Amino acid sequence: MQIVLRNLLFAFTGLLGGMAQAEAVSILGRNVLNAGRGSLFVAARSPQSGQTAALFIDRDHRGMFSDRPANVTAYASAPAILRGTDVQVIRALIEEAESRRDGYDAVQHGARIKPRKRPTQMTLAEIFAWIKATPGQPHAIGRYQFVPKTLRRVVAKVGAKPTQRFDAKMQDKLADILLVEAGLHRFRAGALGRKGFMNNLAKIWAGLPNSSGKSHYEGYAGNKASITLRRFDAVMARISPDRG
């Protein structure tokens, strides 16, 4: 009887040991004991190519820091017109250099076929239609003398609709994109010197002189500075954080 009980106890103990071994799992990953089972801390699966964006994918539209498509605004919402005396002074200086006679309704004097309406009375669609219908001539237009390539780019950046008018408010908003690109915020913060900012502005507007006293585009397509470096510097000095 005792022998039978010992045999039964041995068999039962072996059965429990086998069950315990079968249920053993590693919380750190797979091993021989848990092949085919999920670990408690199993690593996340690698995303399949093309399905999930990496944070720093270079030059890829899915990356957080990649270039945005041309039709997507670079802002959470269309940027408001910049405020401040410094911006007003810079805008007026650009008008003095680029469009002092007609301001917001200026059309490049070399354009043989002018728009049928004043630029401020035209929609963006009408502006682009005029450009397309009159190839082979200058198309710089408005207070800031936007050329077609630049105009298309900044219109896309602010998310403007073709039906919106090319009025003063719109022109200011589009020009503000260029001011920011030239380093306006850095200039305001004192991180970009007056001369450096002036040279950046001169790379955008041919009527402004760079530190050489000439247009950045001197002699190209008849361009030349239309105000003196002394005038440009004196005006900018009044709004410059460095005052130097």
Low-confidence residues of the chain: pLDDT under 70: 1-80, 243-244
Specify the pLDDT at position 82.
Answer: 80
For 163-209, the pLDDT digits (tens) are 999 999 999 999 999 999 999 999 999 999 999 999 999 999 999 99
CB contact at 8 A, 165 and 123: yes
Angle between helices 229-239 and 194-204 (to 10 degrees): 120
Specify the pLDDT at position 84.
Answer: 85
Strand-pairing partners, residue 123, are 165
Specify the pLDDT at position 225.
Answer: 96
Tokens standing for 64?
Answer: 């957080």
The DSSP result for 151-219, as a single string, is: HHHHHHHHT--TTSB--HHHHHHHHHHHHHHTTHHHHHTTSS-HHHHHHHHHHH-TTSB-TTSSBTTTT
Specify the pLDDT at position 72.
Answer: 30
Specify the pLDDT at position 58.
Answer: 28
- Rounded Cα distance between 147 and 7, Å, is 98
Tokens standing for 37?
Answer: 């089972």
Burial code (b: 16+ CB inside 10 Å, e: under 16) for 204-222 equals bbbbbbbeeeebbbeeeee
- Rounded Cα distance between 144 and 105, Å, is 10
Q: Rounded to the nearest 5 degrees, what angle is found at the Cα of 5, between the Cα atoms of 4 and 8?
A: 85
Q: What are phi and psi of 215, to 5 degrees?
A: -65, 145
CA nearest to 183, candidates 195, 200, 204: 200
